[in-house]
Amino acid sequence: MRKPRLIISKCLNSEKCRYNGQIYDDKVISLLRKYVDLETVCPEREIGLEVPRNPIRIEKHDDKYKLIEPSSNMDYTSQMTEFAEEFLNNIEDVDGFVLKSRSPSCGIKDVKIYPKSQKCSISKKGQGVFGAKVVEKYSNIPIEDEGRLKNYNIRDEFLTKIFTINNLKCENSILDFHKKNSLLLKSYNEDIYDELNSIVSKENVDEDDINLYKNKVYEILNNKRDKITKIRLIKDCFRKYEAYLNEEERDYFDDLLKLYEKEKMPFSSIMVALQICAIRFDDKDLSNQTFFNPYPIELISITDSGKGRNL
């Protein structure tokens, strides 16, 4: 069975390739190893830099960002840009990236920017040279850094997306994929979901339709899910069971939703309650929805602080 394919920075759990000869031990990457196929890359080693090496950084020269080694004033911008372009052009199949945060090479959003030849940084909002090329070329798939993946909600979204993309690639029929993922897709964007629905509802689905459908799945996953849509979807699902439940059960479910709205209850509790209904009423269409378990349950780390769990 195919697993999601990720490209990650090599210094995350794989090799002591940082400038100071260190490696990062990251819990999320350790957890992920069993469930995804990982390819690693260290752009700084790839352009010939040694371990250990002098630190490099991003400097702003007029309106250009440069990758500079301050101790020698060496400019590695062109080498890194060329490597990034060649590497990214030769990737055959990838579902997401996890890059090292704050790195002047791999960083995607929180890299320190320095003025030319000065000691203090002026901002922490830049991108590394390699990271910027990844974001530019692969805007349609999930790209995160290991720092952001420590947050439950960000990780939940990342995992949901890479496993949904993997499901899309594994499933032989877009109709089967659509049936199992309908609630999940709807939770991202109902208008695009309607477009997907009309593609699979056609009498004769040809190769162009399949390609269009797949592209639209990538498009829908680029949207952000919001709480209001999730609550509405859950209410729609629950409505068909209401007539078979007693008042106490209905009130209990309403209370759960109110607690979720006030961020006093995680979304997973609502999902469990709804899933119990699906099992009780033998509703296979609902219980098979990936909305409930978009990725392996073992990847829900118990070490989370719980901060922001109520997405």
Choose the binding region for ligand SF4 from 40-48, 170-178, 197-205, 250-258 (rule: CB under 6 A).
40-48
Asked if 161 is part of the footprint of ligand SF4 (rule: CB under 6 A), the reply reads no
Q: Would you say 151 and 102 are in contact if contact means Cβ atoms under 8 Å apart?
A: no
Q: How far apart are CB 2 and ligand SF4 at their closest, in Å?
A: 25
Angle 227-242/174-188 helices, nearest 10 degrees? 120
Choose the binding region for ligand SF4 from 6-14, 134-142, 155-163, 255-263 (rule: CB under 6 A).
6-14
Asked if 101 is part of the footprint of ligand SF4 (rule: CB under 6 A), the reply reads no
Q: Show the site string, 108-127: x = touches ligand SF4 by CB under 6 A, - = not.
A: --------------------
Asked if 58 is part of the footprint of ligand SF4 (rule: CB under 6 A), the reply reads no
Instruction: Give, in order, the Cα–Cα distances in Å from 198 to each of 21, 178, 203, 204, 238.
Output: 54, 11, 10, 12, 25
Other C-beta atoms lying within 10 Å of the C-beta of residue 69: 17
Q: Per the structure block, which two tokens stand in for 227?
A: 């709480």
Asked if 42 is part of the footprint of ligand SF4 (rule: CB under 6 A), the reply reads yes
Residue from 6, 38, 97, 103 touching ligand SF4 (CB under 6 A): that is 103
Q: Among residues 15 and 283, whose Cβ is nearest to ligand SF4?
A: 15
Q: Would you say 139 and 218 are in contact if contact means Cβ atoms under 8 Å apart?
A: no
3-state secondary structure of 269: helix
Q: Among residues 150 and 225, whose Cβ is nearest to ligand SF4?
A: 150
Phi-psi region of 282 (alpha: psi -120 to 50; beta: other; left: phi over 0): left
Count of residues that bind ligand SF4 according to CB under 6 A: 12
Residue from 17, 32, 185, 200 touching ligand SF4 (CB under 6 A): that is 17
Other C-beta atoms lying within 10 Å of the C-beta of residue 133: 19
Q: Would you say 45 and 17 are in contact if contact means Cβ atoms under 8 Å apart?
A: yes
Q: How far apart are CB 101 and ligand SF4 at their closest, in Å?
A: 9
Q: Which residues make beta-bridge pairs with 7?
A: 39, 97
Asked if 18 is part of the footprint of ligand SF4 (rule: CB under 6 A), the reply reads yes
Residue from 44, 95, 146, 156 touching ligand SF4 (CB under 6 A): that is 44
Amino acid at 274: L
Q: By C-alpha distance, which of 166, 147, 157 is closest to 309?
A: 157
Q: Among residues 111 and 220, whose Cβ is nearest to ligand SF4?
A: 111
Residue from 100, 150, 161, 186 touching ligand SF4 (CB under 6 A): that is 100
Q: Which residues bind ligand SF4 (CB under 6 A)?
A: 9-11, 17-18, 42-44, 100, 103, 105-106
